[in-house]
């Protein structure tokens, strides 16, 4: 048992990927036990999750629907999640806890909606402008948080939560008084030209939604990885995040670095906002903050705050969420069980340091034993 | 099973990932003796005693206390076995009184109105006063910890053990933070304790102390017992050689100083801490090229704040700091570094290093943003980090598990210190501020760093050395300034002062 674990997880080079996979498998196994406890078939349930996310074919589809339809709709949901998780991860690297991603998303989504979304602009101008506005608005909110922290030493957790409320009520005031759709009780739908997801495009015999920004999300994740690992700004961000005193001692301007990191984090949240409210959705429900910004905290944690890790973790978590409604319909398992599985994944991932420690201990033990055996043999 | 040994540790082996801290170590300690454990840093002294005190359990081997085999699983159990330990870092609640700290966890209780239990602080004060008198500790139990000095705090730790009826007392490097006079006092206490029948285990790397008080001495080197000696029959030289495993020289070769122009000129500098209290008071001094200016003082007299203010980590409340004739009083830290200040801070883990970064990133911590580490647009060049890291590792003998890619947190304290020293010397600044540069290092490494400091001075660098170790100051300094209560009242050429005189100034006994 120990030997197998050490062999699979003990290699220093592959550990960074082997251990998360191990924790995920472990949580899926526990999830299976829970599902079995409910009297359902665990493997069927998991298959349903994959089917719901378009990663496996369903037994039957209605007209114009297919695996691709499900998969593209999964990607549509994935895009804002990936941006949001990147936003959390970058802030986390600077030692800041951006719990206000949802508020920043809403601010960016709202501003882009009322400016471009309700205009007559053509798609070629409108779409890039929406992205740009998302970035700028998010960046400004982030800058405000960073400035409050730097100038007045206001804890970013407090200020981002407060800004969440401010944005929530301010936008709902404007939506209710000026932009309301009387029937849906939401803001009026944005123009097709400004939407970042192409809806109901006919591909072959199917109709699919195409999220334009998923590629951008992946590119930005790679860019963030480069920024953090290979630039002096990234070096400063990490130095401030891991020990503020040492960073200051080394001559890094801690305040400036924190403001810049919050601006980057805010910009990413802004991207999440426009891809959510003007891509995945087309309108804003007043007085409601999306869960995406909060789930993103967990996703970033699972991805170890590594931008590349975040690509995979958001894929996994969104997959479970997206697949849950089909699982519920097909196997009669409550959608909440999906949240339980997500919770388990996070719980086990949080234990990864412990797993690493244990594996290391076993490895030393085994090496010792081997050495002793070798000695015995040599003596004979 | 012989009864004469109060403690026996037999064939103890303790492994940590990647290192064998104790390798088949056996020691036998007699009742009523002072037994010293001598060894360099990382030799395994503290690990061995931590096992006796229940903080770790040995991987192999057995421990006998008073002839009975025991498994010491926790410090609580060790206390039950009458074993007590004074740690290097005191574990006291600073806003409690001395008595409250001592009785914590086993308070004498009386019942008010025969019903409500309360702490009987009067009885506690009385008990502690008696204990203190019995062993000559001179402690007033009603004083608050934060108001008393390090030496008294240490005695409180000793009282804590005595109050718990410890018979075997372990001291972990007890003299590291004390002045010569305080050391004398402590050693006398240790003798008193032995004379009243306690058994003392003394962990140290200071040979003088062993020579003065210990009866027997076990020498550890790289986790193994090298020898157990009767101290009275052995010279310090022999002990030093056994401990390091080679010949050591105690004095540093130092050519006469040739001072050049003034590099650092501190003029009437006052520094306030967060509580708006003047911690450095109206201090003035100069450091010249080719001069080692050493500041002696008991810990907590403002020397750290003085260094922080010159390096830019603390603000100067009034007065001026000039570097090479330029006013740097309010300059940002990075500009100061670039103008020519190297700084080895007192707290290496909190300030000097990014513990979660790799060794090579830490070695470039102050130059990562410049050529050759960083090109246009701030893109880093990992190859240059690697090359530079390799170079420093070699030059400064920094030992680590995975070379340049080792996470600094996993390195030993001594090697962390070497990394900082290397990084700061390599900056080749005009002014080098060294605070406690050899703290926690072993004899071999201390020798090396002293040589390096003197070499830099010979090259014409100005050196500000702040140390709590008088030996270090007497060995290296050209000029000595003594700081007491935030003020430097005495500045004199090193050769005009004796160690005892400096010690008296440090205690504020003499003025001017």
Q: At a CB cut-off of 8 Å and minimum separation 6, what does A58 contact?
A: A51, A67, A70, A326
DSSP 3-state of B490: strand
Measured between CB atoms, which of B17, B361, B368 is closest to A360? B17
Q: Which two tokens stand for residue A249?
A: 């001692």
Q: At a CB cut-off of 8 Å and minimum separation 6, what does B38 contact?
A: B45, B204, B205, B207, B210, B217, B218, B219, B220, B239, B243
Nearest one of B242, B205, B285 to B489, comparing CA atoms: B285
**If pLDDT is split at 50, 70 and 90, which confidence band does B512 have?**
very low
Measured between CB atoms, which of A231, A239, A249 is closest to B351? A249
- Tell me the shortest Cα–Cα distance from A232 to chain B, in angstroms: 5
Q: Are the CB atoms for B388 and B396 separated by under 8 Å?
A: no
| Chain B residues closer than 8 Å to A232 by CB | 368-369, 374, 378-380
Are A230 and B334 a contacting pair at CB < 8 A? no
Radius of gyration of chain A (CA): 23
Nearest chain B residue (CA) to A239: B354
Nearest one of B258, A315, B420 to A323, comparing CA atoms: A315
Nearest chain A residue (CA) to B371: A232
| Chain A residues closer than 8 Å to B357 by CB | 238-239, 242
Are B356 and A243 a contacting pair at CB < 8 A? yes
Determine the CATH number of domain A61-310.
1.10.3470
Q: Which two tokens stand for residue A191?
A: 């123009």
**CATH H superfamily, domain B5-244:** P-loop containing nucleotide triphosphate hydrolases (3.40.50.300)
Segment among A346-360, B286-300, B319-333 with least mean pLDDT: A346-360
Are A232 and B378 a contacting pair at CB < 8 A? yes
Q: At a CB cut-off of 8 Å and minimum separation 6, what does B2 contact?
A: B67
Nearest one of B41, B310, B313 to B173, comparing CA atoms: B41
What is d(CA A112, CA A278) in angstroms, rounded to the nearest whole number?
8
Q: What pLDDT tens digit does each residue of chain A (380 aa) get?
A: 777 777 777 777 777 788 888 888 999 999 999 999 999 999 999 999 999 999 989 888 888 888 999 999 999 999 999 999 999 999 999 999 999 999 999 999 999 999 999 999 999 999 999 999 999 999 999 999 999 999 999 999 999 999 999 999 999 999 999 999 999 999 999 999 999 999 999 988 899 999 999 999 999 999 999 999 999 999 999 999 999 999 999 999 999 999 999 999 999 999 999 999 999 999 999 999 999 999 999 899 888 899 999 999 999 999 999 999 899 989 888 888 888 888 898 888 878 778 888 888 888 778 777 777 877 777 66
Are B351 and A364 a contacting pair at CB < 8 A? no
Q: At a CB cut-off of 8 Å and minimum separation 6, what does A247 contact?
A: A236, A239, A240, A254, A257, B354
Q: Are the CB atoms for A296 and A269 separated by under 8 Å?
A: no
Are A252 and B350 a contacting pair at CB < 8 A? no
**CATH H superfamily, domain B262-349+429-506:** P-loop containing nucleotide triphosphate hydrolases (3.40.50.300)
Measured between CB atoms, which of A231, A233, A250 is closest to B365? A250
Q: Which two tokens stand for residue A286?
A: 């007043």
Q: At a CB cut-off of 8 Å and minimum separation 6, what does B403 contact?
A: B359, B389, B390, B393
Residues of chain B in Cβ contact (below 8 Å) with chain A: 15, 17-18, 311, 313, 332-334, 336-337, 343, 345, 350-357, 361, 365-366, 368-369, 374, 377-380, 382
Q: Which two tokens stand for residue A113?
A: 């909606």
Segment among A38-47, A117-126, B222-231, B354-363 with least mean pLDDT: B222-231
Are B313 and A233 a contacting pair at CB < 8 A? no
Strands B292-296, B479-484: pairing kind: parallel
What is d(CA A11, CA A14) in angstroms, rounded to the nearest whole number?
6
Q: What value does the mean pLDDT of chain A take?
A: 91
> How is chain B split into domains, by residue range?
5-244, 262-349+429-506
pLDDT of residue B2: 47
Residues of chain A in Cβ contact (below 8 Å) with chain B: 230-236, 238-239, 242-243, 245-253, 360-361, 364, 368
Number of CB pairs < 8 Å for A and B?
71
DSSP string covering B56-91, please? S--SEEEEEETTEEE---SHHHHHHTTEEEE-SS--
Q: Are the CB atoms for A84 and A292 separated by under 8 Å?
A: yes
Q: Which two tokens stand for residue B176?
A: 């590291």
In the predicted structure, residue B7 carries a pLDDT above the cut 60: yes
Are B379 and A230 a contacting pair at CB < 8 A? yes
Q: Which tens digit of pLDDT belongs to each residue from B31-48?
A: 999 999 988 766 788 889
Question: What letter would DSSP give residue B380?
Answer: B
| Chain B residues closer than 8 Å to A246 by CB | 350-354, 365
Measured between CB atoms, which of A231, A251, A364 is closest to B333? A251
DSSP 3-state of A21: helix
What is d(CA A315, CA B292) in angstroms, rounded to the nearest whole number?
61
| Chain A residues closer than 8 Å to B372 by CB | none
Are B377 and A231 a contacting pair at CB < 8 A? yes
In the predicted structure, residue B511 carries a pLDDT above the cut 60: no
Segment among A4-8, B217-221, B381-385 with least mean pLDDT: A4-8
Could you tell me if the ipTM is greater than 0.95?
Answer: no
Are B380 and A251 a contacting pair at CB < 8 A? no
- Tell me the shortest Cα–Cα distance from A229 to chain B, in angstroms: 8
């Amino acid at each position: 048992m120990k030997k197998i674990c050490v062999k699979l997880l003990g290699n220093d080079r592959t550990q960074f990927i082997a251990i998360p996979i191990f924790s995920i498998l472990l949580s899926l196994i526990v999830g299976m036990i829970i599902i079995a406890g409910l009297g359902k078939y665990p493997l069927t349930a998991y298959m349903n999750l994959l089917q719901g996310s378009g990663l496996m074919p369903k037994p039957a589809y209605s007209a114009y629907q297919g695996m691709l339809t499900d998969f593209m709709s999964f990607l549509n949901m994935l895009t804002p999640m990936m941006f949001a998780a990147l936003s959390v991860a970058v802030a986390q690297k600077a030692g800041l806890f951006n719990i206000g991603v949802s508020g920043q998303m809403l601010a960016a989504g709202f501003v882009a909606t009322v400016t471009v979304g309700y205009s007559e602009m053509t798609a070629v101008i409108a779409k890039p402008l929406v992205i740009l506005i998302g970035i700028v608005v998010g960046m400004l909110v982030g800058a405000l948080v960073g400035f409050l922290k730097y100038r007045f030493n206001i804890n970013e957790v407090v200020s981002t939560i407060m800004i969440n409320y401010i944005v929530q009520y301010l936008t709902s005031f404007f939506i209710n008084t000026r932009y309301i759709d009387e029937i849906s009780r939401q803001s009026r739908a944005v123009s097709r030209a400004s939407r970042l997801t192409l809806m109901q495009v006919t591909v072959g015999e199917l109709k699919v939604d195409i999220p334009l920004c998923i590629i951008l999300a992946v590119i930005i994740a790679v860019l963030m990885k480069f920024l953090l690992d290979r630039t002096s700004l990234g070096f400063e961000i990490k130095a401030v995040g891991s020990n503020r005193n040492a960073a200051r001692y080394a001559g890094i301007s801690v305040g400036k670095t924190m403001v810049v990191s919050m601006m980057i984090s805010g910009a990413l949240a802004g991207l999440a906002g426009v891809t959510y409210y003007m891509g995945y959705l087309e309108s804003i429900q007043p007085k409601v903050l999306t869960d995406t910004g909060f789930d993103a905290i967990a996703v970033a944690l699972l991805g170890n705050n590594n931008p590349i890790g975040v690509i995979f973790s958001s894929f996994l978590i969104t997959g479970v969420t997206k697949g849950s409604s089909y699982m519920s319909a097909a196997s009669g398992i409550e959608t909440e069980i999906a949240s339980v599985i997500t919770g388990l994944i996070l719980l086990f991932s949080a234990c990864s340091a412990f797993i690493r420690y244990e594996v290391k201990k076993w490895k030393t033990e085994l090496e010792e034993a081997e050495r002793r055996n070798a000695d015995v043999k040599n003596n004979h | 099973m012989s009864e004469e040994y109060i403690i026996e540790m037999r064939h103890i082996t303790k492994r940590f990932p990647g290192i064998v801290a104790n390798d088949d170590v056996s020691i036998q300690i007699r009742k009523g003796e002072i037994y010293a454990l001598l060894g360099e840093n990382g030799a395994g002294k503290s690990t061995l005693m931590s096992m006796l005190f229940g903080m770790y359990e040995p991987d192999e081997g057995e421990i006998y206390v008073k002839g009975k085999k025991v498994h010491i699983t926790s410090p609580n159990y060790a206390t039950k076995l009458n074993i007590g330990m004074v740690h290097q870092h005191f574990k006291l609640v600073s806003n409690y009184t001395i008595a409250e700290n001592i009785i914590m966890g086993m308070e004498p209780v009386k019942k008010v109105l025969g019903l409500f239990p309360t702490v009987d602080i009067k009885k506690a004060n009385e008990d502690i006063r008696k204990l203190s008198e019995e062993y000559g500790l001179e402690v007033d139990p009603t004083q608050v910890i934060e108001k008393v000095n390090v030496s008294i705090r240490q005695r409180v730790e000793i009282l804590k053990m005595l109050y718990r009826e410890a018979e075997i007392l372990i001291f972990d490097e007890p003299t590291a933070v004390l002045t010569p006079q305080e050391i004398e006092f402590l050693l006398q206490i240790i003798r008193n304790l032995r004379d009243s029948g306690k058994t003392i285990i003394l962990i140290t790397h200071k040979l003088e102390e062993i020579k003065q008080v210990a009866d027997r001495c076990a020498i550890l080197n790289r986790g193994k017992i090298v020898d157990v000696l009767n101290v009275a029959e052995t010279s310090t030289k022999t002990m030093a050689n056994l401990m390091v495993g080679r010949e050591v020289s105690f004095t540093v070769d130092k050519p006469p100083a040739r001072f050049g122009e003034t590099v650092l000129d501190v003029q009437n500098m006052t520094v306030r801490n967060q509580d708006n209290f003047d911690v450095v008071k109206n201090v003035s001094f100069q450091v010249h090229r080719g001069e080692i200016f050493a500041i002696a003082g008991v810990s907590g007299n403002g020397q750290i704040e003085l260094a922080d203010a010159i390096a830019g980590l603390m603000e100067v409340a009034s007065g001026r700091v000039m570097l090479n004739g330029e006013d740097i009083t309010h300059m940002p830290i990075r500009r100061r570094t670039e103008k020519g200040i190297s700084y080895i801070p007192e707290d290496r883990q909190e300030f000097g290093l990014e513990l979660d970064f790799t060794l090579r990133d830490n070695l470039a911590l102050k130059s990562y943003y410049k050529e050759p580490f960083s090109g246009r647009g701030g893109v880093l060049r990992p190859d240059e980090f690697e090359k530079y890291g390799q170079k420093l590792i070699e030059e400064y003998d920094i030992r680590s598990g995975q070379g340049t890619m080792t996470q600094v947190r996993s390195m030993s304290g001594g090697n962390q210190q070497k990394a900082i020293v290397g990084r700061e010397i390599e900056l080749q600044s005009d002014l080098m501020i060294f605070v406690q540069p050899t703290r926690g290092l072993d004899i071999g490494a201390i020798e090396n760093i002293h040589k390096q400091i003197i070499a830099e001075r010979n090259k014409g660098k100005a050196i500000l050395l702040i140390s709590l170790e008088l030996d270090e100051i007497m060995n290296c300094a050209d000029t000595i300034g003594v700081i007491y209560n935030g003020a430097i009242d005495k500045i004199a050429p090193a050769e005009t002062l004796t160690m005892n005189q400096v010690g008296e100034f440090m205690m504020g006994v003499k003025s001017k």
